[in-house]
Amino acid sequence: MRAAAAGIAIVAVHAIGFVAASQHSAGHELVVEVTSPLASPALTLQGTVPAGIRSRVVDTVDGRGPGLRRERWRVAYRGGYAREVGASQLVGPFQDQACSGRVIVGQAMLDQVAVAMRTIMDQQMRGEAVFGIGAYQKIEAFELEWAQFAFHPLDAGLLGAGAPHGYVRATARIVFDRVIVPLTLVAIPEATDHQLHFCVKAHAAVEVGNRALQWLNSHVDVTSRLATRIANHEIDAMLVTALAPPPPFELDRDQTLTFTFCKDPVEISNRAYGALPFAVQLGTAPLGILPPHIAASHARPVAPKSLAIELDVDALNALLFELWRTGWLDKRLAEVGLDRRFNSDPTVTEFLTVRLSPLRLALPPVISPAGDHLELAADARVNLSDGGVTTVGRVFGSLQLRFAGMRAKTTFGALELVCERTATTLVPCYADLVEALAGRGPQFDGALTEAFTALTSSIFVDRSVGVGDLPGTLVIHGVVPSLAPGATTLHLDLDATLMR
């Protein structure tokens, strides 16, 4: 009997031992304590992992410069499984209304403007009569061109102090009853703090066969009167309007995306283009969050057919920041309804217990150059409901933007999810599920491409812009994106027409 009792005691000890062993066999879960701020002028991401697992953790940070940086703590297990916790930080230096975009007006667009300007000038000259040369008849051979002084040394008298960055040069022949007056007009761009204007100067050389009339004309300064009439401020206004930054983009009620002048000089290429720098007007976000300033060298603009906009990564990030700051992106995400699509997916409803809330972007998405493409990264929050328990999840995702041919191609980059045990304690969650979803990423590439195309189209395409005093409207029919070498600048070639 004693032996039986001892045997039962052995079994009891085993049972107790198993309970104890089970309590201590949860393994060393990957738990990372992250107290770093969401945004910082310099990378300050730091996490603490439990000592028991520290030797197995591989800690990586994807870059250290400005941008949306992510630190990952990863433990790999046999069989190809891994558990990973990542945390994002928006790392500065941050932008301060930098000149990050350029409107590039090609010679073709200038030719369209010339037609409109000729009409205006013609109207202004009607009824004009000059003693000795007769009444105004018409304007002939009116041309506008982007010019550099080196190509027009005879303009030295008009340019005066010079136009180191180039100027707009207009030439015409004004036909009077007795003479034809050749007119040369230069419009030199001058930037002030928040404005661009053109200093317009004209020279009209009247040549008549009658020496008495020639003498008389020189004394009453017919040339000056003509030049003054033609070079009035309206030409300045017309040019300024034609070369203005993109008009405000209305996001939602009382919310607009605004582009402003900035002080960088206008770049002009002789008979090719004129590039006007502009900036994205930044609003104020909480926690000192601003778009990162990713130092990017400005490449020479690509001459457009008619009109183009170039946005470097800072401009893109400024745009995204504004779209995020105003809540526009969250609303679009809600409209896209990733959560609804997930929650109502037949596979999900049949097999999964977890449900998602709409995504909320915790930080502005950030675009950064990545070799031959751009990479868009975003850090969002989502509520995960599972069996009556709701957990805050941190979703990190990235897209790769490639531009070839007539359109952009968007491909799925990464999808990561970590859960907040507390606001600062991050743990892996639904790792296998996320891995499976990430594995399906390529299936979403087509939809992502469509979404990106729709986004750029909604901003630019079919926009009609009144062009100051010009008798017409600038209508954008389409946009062709491309990426400048180095992937630092997005070039949007706009199919634009100045409609009368």
Partner 1 sequence: MALEVRGLRVALPDGRVLIDGIDLSVGEGEVVVLLGGSGAGKSTFARVLFERDELEHAGFEIVAAQLDLDREQLGLVPQRGALFDHLDVRGNLELALRHGGGDVAEAPQWLERVGLEAALAEPGTSVTKLSGGQAQRVAVARVLASRRKLLFLDEPSVGLDPHRVRVLARLIRDQVKALGISAIVVTHDVALAAGVADRLFLLSLEDRKLDQLFADRWPGALEDPGHTPEERGRWLVELETAMVDHLQAFGDQPPPRGAVPVRPWWTGLARLAAPGLAPFRVAALCAWKAPQQLVKYPRDFAIVAQRVLLQTLVRPLIFYAIVSTLIGYTVLFVISKVGGAGVRPDALLRQIGGAHVVALAPALSALLYVAASGSATNAWLGSMGLTKQTLALDALGVDRRAYLWAPAWLAAAVSYLLVAALFALGMIAGGLLVCRAYHVPHAWELLTGDLFDPRPERLRYTVRALFLVWIYGWGIASDVVAKGGAAKPEADAVTRGMTASVVACTLWVVAWELVTVVVVFRL
The per-residue DSSP string of 439-479 comes to: HTGGGGHHHHHHHHHHHHHHHHTT-EEE-TTSSSEEEEEEE
Q: Is 389 in the site for partner 1 (CB under 8 A)?
A: no
Rounded to whole angstroms, how far apart are CA atoms 220 and 38?
72
For partner 1, the closer of residues 143 and 386 by Cβ is 386
Q: Are 268 and 274 in contact (CB under 8 A)?
A: yes
Q: Which residue from 70, 78, 339, 361 is in contact with partner 1, where contact means CB under 8 A?
A: 78
- Strand bridging mode 32-34 / 425-428: antiparallel
CB of 434 to partner 1, least distance (A): 13
Rounded to whole angstroms, how far apart are CA atoms 436 and 443?
12
CB of 257 to partner 1, least distance (A): 42
Give how far Cα 67 sits from Cα of 205, 310, 376, 379, 394, Å: 58, 20, 10, 12, 18
Total of chain residues touching partner 1, rule CB under 8 A: 32
CB of 418 to partner 1, least distance (A): 15
Neighbours of 161 (CB within 10 A): 7
CB of 13 to partner 1, least distance (A): 11
Kindly report the backbone phi and psi dihedral angles of residue 396, in degrees, each rounded to the nearest multiple of 5, phi listed first.
Answer: -120, 130
CB of 31 to partner 1, least distance (A): 10
Tell which positions 219-258 bind partner 1, by CB under 8 A: none
Rounded to whole angstroms, how far apart are CA atoms 272 and 269?
5
For partner 1, the closer of residues 10 and 156 by Cβ is 10
Interface region with partner 1, contact rule CB under 8 A, candidates 5-13, 63-71, 171-179, 490-498: 5-13
For partner 1, the closer of residues 30 and 268 by Cβ is 30
Maximum C-alpha span of the chain: 148
Q: Is 77 in the site for partner 1 (CB under 8 A)?
A: yes
Mask 424-463, x = binds partner 1 (CB under 8 A)? --------x---x--x------------------------
Rounded to whole angstroms, how far apart are CA atoms 478 and 407?
11
Tell which positions 363-382 bind partner 1, by CB under 8 A: none
CB of 24 to partner 1, least distance (A): 9
Rounded to whole angstroms, how far apart are CA atoms 489 and 65?
18
Tell which positions 7-66 bind partner 1, by CB under 8 A: 7-11, 14-15, 18-19, 21-23, 25-30
Is residue 446 helix, strand or coil? helix
Exposure string over 203-217, b if 16+ CB within 10 A, otherwise e: bbebebeeeebeeeb
For partner 1, the closer of residues 30 and 230 by Cβ is 30
Q: Are 400 and 375 in contact (CB under 8 A)?
A: yes
Q: Is 83 in the site for partner 1 (CB under 8 A)?
A: yes
Q: Are 95 and 318 in contact (CB under 8 A)?
A: yes
Q: Which residue from 67, 71, 81, 281 is in contact with partner 1, where contact means CB under 8 A?
A: 81
Q: Is 478 in the site for partner 1 (CB under 8 A)?
A: no
CB of 376 to partner 1, least distance (A): 27
Tell which positions 274-313 bind partner 1, by CB under 8 A: none
Q: Is 79 in the site for partner 1 (CB under 8 A)?
A: yes
- Cα–Cα nearest to 154, from 177, 184, 199, 131: 184
Interface region with partner 1, contact rule CB under 8 A, candidates 1-9, 118-126, 214-222, 305-313: 1-9
CB of 83 to partner 1, least distance (A): 6
Looking at residue 150, the DSSP 8-state letter turns out to be G
For partner 1, the closer of residues 11 and 212 by Cβ is 11
Q: Are 155 and 149 in contact (CB under 8 A)?
A: yes
Neighbours of 236 (CB within 10 A): 19
CB of 428 to partner 1, least distance (A): 9
- Cα–Cα nearest to 157, from 193, 190, 201, 116: 201
CB of 51 to partner 1, least distance (A): 15
Q: Which residues bind partner 1 (CB under 8 A)?
A: 1, 3-11, 14-15, 18-19, 21-23, 25-30, 77-81, 83, 432, 436, 439
